[in-house]
Amino acid sequence: MNFELTQDQQMIRQMIREFSESEVAPGAEERDKKKEFPKEIFDQLGKLGILGLPFPEEYGGGGADTVSFALVVEELSRGCGSTGITYSAHVSLGGAPIHLFGTEEQKKTYLTPLCTGEYLGAFGLTEPSAGSDAGGTKTTAVKKADKWVLNGSKCYITNASYAKNLALTAVTGQKSENTKEISAFIVPTDSEGFKVLSRYEKMGLHASDTTELVLEDVHIPEENMLGGKGNGLKQFLITLDGGRIGIGAMAVGIAQAAYEKALSYAKERVQFGRSISRFQAIQHKLADMAMNLELARLMVYKAAWLKDLGKNFTKEASMAKLFASEACMKICDQAVQIHGGYGYMRDYHVERYFRDAKLLEIGEGTSEIQRNVIAREIGC
């Protein structure tokens, strides 16, 4: 197993690192305070050809691999967690289901504008009563003539305010007495009866778009079903495997930023006549941060590498997401601690990293769900 980046991957990382440092990071704190979505940044990413990076060139994509996608998420998240999660969700949740399960016509119609940056991608799975238990979906789709009529709601949906279409799940029948038949559909956001509500007050990631979807007698053509009838839940769980690589990469990026701030501050902060980086207690904190950061990064790259090889990566994606998100939370916590009272203040940024990091232990499968997946994959 060789984790040395290819020349193309190195070029992508360097380009996005420079872009993130010049365009993303400088305004991150202000956007967080104002809860201001970074639309201009995504307009620029679209012009750079990054929004369709891992998708085929025939649909306007970049034809790159999953490792490259992870590198972009990592570098954007290092500059701004809200930007990182917006990009990750656009690709791994918005574009991936259409790429994986869409017909040729659906790919041309819906994947192409996502790749070219015409609008952002979104994905509707979670409901008020169906979070970790996605099989508890209550949104329904009833066939009437040549239309599907959808009713229900979705919550905690990323990017929907900036999407013209999104894929979501709905119950289309019963497979058995206790098992619902769940299918996936592509739904235009301007459909009559479709509402996108943005009213959440969040702990962190304030510059990202998190919405509620309400569907009241939304009529869509029968050809808008994504994949076969009854395959929606399976399709979206496959999609989440790839999404977990994105969350892991996001965790690495935020952790990298927190570690860099802590290391720099420790060298500059003088107490008792010397910089606090000279004290063994602080050195041990920084050593643990560096170690866990490197381990998390390698786990994310391994999961992405396996996906690119076409091998089963479910276990590795869950391990990477679980370890990286929990390591990120610990690193951000210690970054605040090393900064002391300053760490509690907005001006030093680490409190924002801490707030942003918490979502990573919850979104796209909680830490508890990841442990369930890993246990199943190892044969428990």
| pLDDT digits 0-9 by tens, 320-336 | 999 999 999 999 999 99
Q: What is the pLDDT of residue 2?
A: 56
Q: In whole angstroms, give the CA distance from residue 282 to residue 259.
A: 12
* Rounded CA separation 1/124 (Å): 36
Instruction: Inform me whether the pLDDT recorded for 158 exceeds 80.
Output: yes
Per-residue model confidence (pLDDT) at position 7: 96
What pLDDT sits at residue 176?
Answer: 84
Phi/psi at 168 (5° precision): -145, 165
Global confidence as pTM: 0.96
Residue 159 amino acid letter: N
Instruction: Indicate whether 348 pLDDT > 60.
Output: yes
Q: pLDDT band at 302, cuts 50/70/90?
A: very high
Spatial CB neighbours of 42, under 8 Å, sequence gap ≥ 6: 51, 86, 87, 90, 117, 120, 162
pLDDT tens digit string along 218-239? 999 999 999 999 999 999 999 9
Per the listing, tokens 């998190």 go with: 210
Known catalytic membership, residue 364: yes
Q: What is residue 64's predicted lDDT score, i.e. its pLDDT?
A: 97
The rounded mean pLDDT for the chain is 96
**Each residue of 115-154: pLDDT tens digit?**
999 999 999 999 998 888 888 899 999 999 999 999 999 9
**CA 292/CA 302 separation, integer angstroms:** 15
Percentage of residues in the chain with pLDDT exceeding 90? 94
DSSP string, 118-137: SS---EE--BTTBSS-GGG-
Res. 189: pLDDT tops 90: yes
Which residue among the candidates 316, 364, 368, 377 is catalytic per the annotation?
364
CB 267 within 8 A of CB 306: no
Question: Alpha carbon of 56 to those of 254, 306, 366: distances in Å?
Answer: 29, 19, 31
Q: Is the CB of residue 312 less than 8 Å from the CB of residue 336?
A: no
Quickly state the pLDDT bin for 52 (edges 50, 70, 90). Answer: very high
Q: Please determine, for residue 300, whether its predicted confidence score (pLDDT) is greater than 60.
A: yes
Q: What is the pLDDT of residues 53-97, one digit of tens each?
A: 999 999 999 999 999 999 999 999 999 999 999 999 999 999 999
Q: What pLDDT does residue 178 have?
A: 84
What is the pLDDT at residue 1? 54
